[in-house]
Structure 1
């Protein structure tokens, strides 16, 4: 157990993760107290992110399909 606590990088990482989780939990509980302007900007940002993610995900899925087809073709050529 002594060796675990002697690793300073691990302790710093652990404390950082705990602090980040605490900040996330605090920001979630304080959501109702946000100013109207910040709530509006958060809503607009979320909507924009959803709208932009749909075509981006479609392109990524298409590229993965093309890559899968290419791999299948190469495997078939090896099997022949």
Structure 2
């Protein structure tokens, strides 16, 4: 998967998050920007190399930890 494809998937997933899901995700990742900052949060995961086109396990685990199934909802 290339970087653009992964970012497109993250955009789609981000659109499916409720405000409560976003709050839980920001809290879990110890990040406190406004809810509109979710894309900035995702971008920071790329900057920190916690997420990249070869390994996005960190993000999958974060969604799992906040109890979000997302796909198919």
User: TM-score, with normalisation over the residues of structure 1?
Assistant: 0.20
More helix by share: 1
Larger radius of gyration: 1
Work out which structure has the larger RCO, using CA pairs closer than 8 Å and 6 or more positions apart in sequence: 2
